[in-house]
Amino acid sequence: MGFQTEMVVMSIKEIGHSDENALLELLLTYKALGDEDALGNCSTSGCAPFRVKHGDDIDFESSDGDDDAGDTQPNYGDYGDENFIRNMSEKDKKINSLVDMGFPENEANMAITRCGVDVDLSVLVDSISASLAAGDFDLSHQVMNRRSDSFGGTKKIRLMEDRKKKRKRYGGTAHGNQIFLDGSHYEHMPPPNPMVGFSLPNCSQLPVDRKIPKKAIGRPFFYYENVAQAPTGVWATISRCLYGIEPEYLDSKHLCAAARKRGYIHNLPIENRAPLLPLPPKTILEAFPRYKKWWPSWDTRTQFNCLRTSMACQQLTGSIGALARTGNPPPRNIQKDMIKQCKEYNLVWIGKNKVAALEPEEIEYLLGFPKDHTRGLTSTNRYKSLGNSFQVDTVAYHLSVLRGMFPNGVTVLSLFTGIGGGEVALHRLGIHMKTVVSVEIDKASKRIFRHWWDQTQTGTLIEFDDVKSLTDATVASLVTRFGGFDLVIGGSPCNNLAGCNRYSRDGLEGKEYVLFYQYPRILEAVKEAMARM
């Protein structure tokens, strides 16, 4: 990051090296007292990502620690410092290797304390394993291990290679030089495969004892959703802004017939969850049996891809129909091409050699909304708002724990309400909404939500347009007026981190995505106002 070695050594000696943020704060303080020019723009306040301008040759994304302080020739102050630096560097390398293998950082740290920094890596592995066998391994770490295990070996090597390639591609650009505080830690925690969350309906649950910091426990409960596959560092920042809670990654394909890979950061209990009944169909043909008649045996899809905001055009469906007529069955290579397009655009066989995009009401059904929920909007707007919405069964499964906690109903602050996926989930769970304060800027989505509310709810609906206009003072007055909020729920303000767009690497600094920061700001304002109550 461009700090002088002596300054780093001095800072580590002063406060240790286990609290990365504190160390950085101290370094920045020293830096501020000394020359200011060496640093580019930076911000350590709140949860804004910290940026440092680098030379292009610095391997800022490296997570394996191979090219850090150990390879440089620092200007040591004295021989003691030299040893100190060598040990620190050795320790960091070993910790990184152990984290790469899937061990939690603090376990790696403790093993080095137990065995010393000079022992072989295998000795450290044995030591952590023995600790695990002895049962003094924190359960929450098992979750991490589960993740890392499922992401082992060749996949990891491939990912590291991909990263190196990407680094080359983006090296030297402004975004390429972005560093997120503690991001490297999370780089080792990509969404697990399979993406099954902390539990699934009707499946025996693996023990998950996740850590929620004291200040995030209990009311107001909060629930924030974002696409699972976000650029490096995004989840680290989201998590850091939301009390360091680790995301629950869940692909909705485990609950319904369409994929939707999302991460959810929440402080809800995870015991005694219950799914919405009836359970939704899990395959395409269970959901739409009428397509069975025309479905060719060589189209082996059983589930839909993620339902997105745009649909296939007529030219595409027409050309697929033409390809289907090239033989019965068509040649293998043509089949492959067709399946690829069908997958990408979620096409269905509606007649002999005839494919079509899903209708908006079919998407409503797959996402768990009532029939005609978005009717009245243009088809483009229906696809758009549905493509951005929650999968209701998935969210309801997580929110189901509120039913027992709030038998008289809930007071909800709903940020980025959209067409009301969260509220539909609560309603379908039979949870009464006493009051919903809804913040949504899009007029069409607002109209849909308001119509649904008027038809189904008896509680109070208060609406705000722009999330930025909801000041902390307004939040405080809402808290006073409604006796606080039971649930603060919100989803990603735009999905430009999904699909190909994510390679733009705008991350949370992207034009719309920067709105994410409004969620933790408002949540904090709610918590502060509730604490004063």
Q: Which is nearer to ligand SAH, 323 or 508 (CB)?
A: 508
Contacts of 333 (CB under 8 A, 6+ apart): none
The one segment of 51-59, 153-161, 273-281, 415-423 that binds ligand SAH by CB under 6 A: 415-423
How does strand 410-415 pair with strand 487-490? parallel
Binding residue for ligand SAH, selected from 429, 445, 453, 506, defined by CB under 6 A: 445
Binding residue for ligand SAH, selected from 388, 394, 411, 438, defined by CB under 6 A: 388
Site string for ligand SAH, 448-487 (x = CB under 6 A): ------------------xxx-------------------
How does strand 221-227 pair with strand 261-266? antiparallel
Cα gap 318→272, rounded to integer Å: 48
506 belongs to the binding site for ligand SAH (CB under 6 A) = no
520 belongs to the binding site for ligand SAH (CB under 6 A) = no
Binding residue for ligand SAH, selected from 104, 183, 233, 421, defined by CB under 6 A: 421
226 belongs to the binding site for ligand SAH (CB under 6 A) = no
DSSP 483-514: T--SEEEE--S--TTSGGGGGG--GGGSTTGG
> 417 with 439: CB under 8 angstroms?
yes
- Please report how close the Cβ of residue 478 comes to ligand SAH at its closest, in angstroms: 16
416 belongs to the binding site for ligand SAH (CB under 6 A) = yes
Binding residue for ligand SAH, selected from 251, 364, 440, 486, defined by CB under 6 A: 440
Contacts of 210 (CB under 8 A, 6+ apart): 140, 143, 198, 245, 246, 270
Give the residue numbers annotated as catalytic, written as ranges.
494
Contacts of 523 (CB under 8 A, 6+ apart): 220, 222, 242, 488
- Quote the radius of gyration of the chain (alpha carbons, Å): 26
> 429 with 503: CB under 8 angstroms?
no
- Please report how close the Cβ of residue 371 comes to ligand SAH at its closest, in angstroms: 17
The one segment of 2-10, 170-178, 343-351, 419-427 that binds ligand SAH by CB under 6 A: 419-427
Strand spans (E) along 409-503: 410-415, 433-439, 460-464, 487-490
> 36 with 25: CB under 8 angstroms?
no
- Please report how close the Cβ of residue 467 comes to ligand SAH at its closest, in angstroms: 4
Window 55 to 74, contacts with ligand SAH (CB under 6 A): none
Residue 246 burial by CB count (10 A; 0-12/13-18/19+): exposed, middle or buried? Answer: buried
390 belongs to the binding site for ligand SAH (CB under 6 A) = yes
- Please report how close the Cβ of residue 442 comes to ligand SAH at its closest, in angstroms: 3
413 belongs to the binding site for ligand SAH (CB under 6 A) = no
Q: 250 has which bridge partners?
A: 196, 262
CA 465 to chain centre: 25
Alpha carbons within 13 angstroms on the beta-carbon side of residue 528 total 12
Tokens of 379: 């088809």
The one segment of 95-103, 297-305, 354-362, 413-421 that binds ligand SAH by CB under 6 A: 413-421
491 belongs to the binding site for ligand SAH (CB under 6 A) = yes
Q: Which is nearer to ligand SAH, 401 or 439 (CB)?
A: 439
346 belongs to the binding site for ligand SAH (CB under 6 A) = no
Cα gap 238→265, rounded to integer Å: 8
Q: Which is nearer to ligand SAH, 342 or 467 (CB)?
A: 467
442 belongs to the binding site for ligand SAH (CB under 6 A) = yes
Binding residue for ligand SAH, selected from 102, 493, 510, 520, defined by CB under 6 A: 493
Instruction: Name the residues that contact ligand SAH, by CB under 6 A.
Output: 388-390, 416, 418-421, 439-442, 445, 466-468, 491, 493, 515
